[in-house]
Every structure is written in C-alpha cells, then in structure tokens.
Amino acid sequence: MMKIFVILLMIISINVQAENDDTLICRQKVINFYNWYSEAINQIIEDVFLPSFVEDKNGNVTLDFTEYVNNLKRFGFTDKIVNNEINSYKPCIDNLQEITFKKFKEDFDDISNYEDIFCDFFNTHRWIKSMESFTGVEISKSIVNGKECKLYGRIYEGTEPYKFYYGDVVVTLIKFKDTWMIDEIKI
C-alpha cells in the first residue's frame, strides 16, 4: 500500500512540475512578445509590427505583410492567428486596389484619407487596442489545461512607483507538438 502511495505521489509531483514548467514557458513567451512590441512602438519601427504600403505590379497600392508576419511567427503565433490578422486588412486591401501608388504618395497626407478607405490601422496599436505607448504586460493569472494555456494580464505604462494600468488582456496558447504557440489575444 505504501508503494502505491509513493508512486502516486511521484506521478502527481511530476505532473505539477510539468504544469509549472509549461506556465513559465507560456508566461515568458507572452512577456517577450509584448516587450518586443513595446520597444518597436516606442522606437517607431512601424514596418516590423504593421504591414507596409507598397506598389504592386500594376502600379497600384497594396499592403506588404512580409516583415510583420515574420515577426509574429518568430514570437510563436499560430497560422490561425496570423491568417486572421491578415484577413482583417481585406477591406483596406480591396480599397487600395483602386488607387495608384503615385496618387497615394501625393494625396494621402491626412488620417481622414486612410479612414475613408479603412486603412487607418496604424492609428491604434493592434495588440493593446490603444493609441498610447506602453511598457509591457503583467501576467496575473495562468491556467494550464492539457494542451491549452490561458494567461490573464494587464497592459501597463511606466515603472514603479509610477506604473499605470490601462487594459486587460487574455492570451491563449496551444501546445503544438512540444512547442507553446500564441493562438488568440483578446483585449
């Protein structure tokens, strides 16, 4: 009987340790992403966290997602969330197809020009839903349930004692093979 108890205790201990390791990995992945995102925003390196307006082969305007998507994948975003992100720009892309790159360069000098064609995506930071800069994300709760990890956190600006919170975030990660990947971000 004692052997069974010891074996059960060891199994429980191993499972708890694995869950703790998964929690730490998930937390670090999300914190790393938001630290990079904050730094890119604060240094105004837009084409690394937004698509770029470029000229297509017909001389019209389109969006180039190359660097943006590469960065999302580098931080472990799933194909699902990347595809959803690209698809969210469809109204903008459809409207850009009607505008020559020359006209775009000459006439698009006001935010209202971009708003009129649903291309004002640079006016709000996508992954925090704010126009403000921010310092990072603070994770307050983690729930690992098999191959899914949910992290609950708050977006903040500043450092102690002048740390201001202004938005909640829930990040869902899924375990694909042995790798945790960001599958959804809700703000």
Phi and psi of 38, rounded to 5°? -60, -45
Helices 66-74 and 79-87: angle between axes, nearest 10 degrees: 150
Q: Is the dihedral of CA 96, 98, 103, 107 positive or negative?
A: negative
The mean per-residue pLDDT over the stretch 10-24 comes to 58
Q: Name the amino acid, one letter, at 104.
A: F
Domain count, the chain: 2
Q: Secondary structure of 65-131 in the HEC alphabet?
A: CHHHHHHHHHCCECHHHHHHHHHCCHHHHHHHCCCEHHHHHHHCCCHHHHHHCCCCHHHCECCCCEC
Higher pLDDT, 9 or 57: 57
Residues 18 and 72 in one domain: no
Residues 54 and 76 in one domain: yes
Residue 5, pLDDT score: 41
Q: Using CA atoms, how far apart are residues 147 and 155, in angstroms rounded to an integer?
A: 25
pLDDT digits (tens, 9 = 90+) for 115-156: 999 999 998 899 999 988 899 999 999 999 999 999 999 999
Residues 111 and 138 in one domain: no
- Which among 124, 149, 176 is the end of a domain? 124
- Which among 93, 124, 155 is the end of a domain? 124
Higher pLDDT, 152 or 15: 152
Q: Using CA atoms, how far apart are residues 79 and 6, in angstroms rounded to an integer?
A: 43
- Which among 124, 144, 163 is the end of a domain? 124
Write out the residue range of the structural domain in which residue 14 sits. Answer: 1-46+126-187
Q: Is the pLDDT reported for residue 45 higher than 90?
A: no
Comparing C-alpha atoms, which of 26, 35, 41 is closest to residue 183?
A: 26
Q: Using CA atoms, how far apart are residues 172 and 143, in angstroms rounded to an integer?
A: 10
pTM summary value: 0.85
Residue 164, pLDDT score: 92
pLDDT digits (tens, 9 = 90+) for 87-125: 999 999 999 999 999 999 999 999 999 999 999 999 889
Comparing C-alpha atoms, which of 51, 60, 53, 64 is closest to residue 102?
A: 60
Q: Given pLDDT bands bounded at 50, 70 and 90, which one contains residue 13?
A: very low
Residues 23 and 11 in one domain: yes
Residues 80 and 116 in one domain: yes
Q: Given pLDDT bands bounded at 50, 70 and 90, which one contains residue 159?
A: confident
Residues 146 and 119 in one domain: no
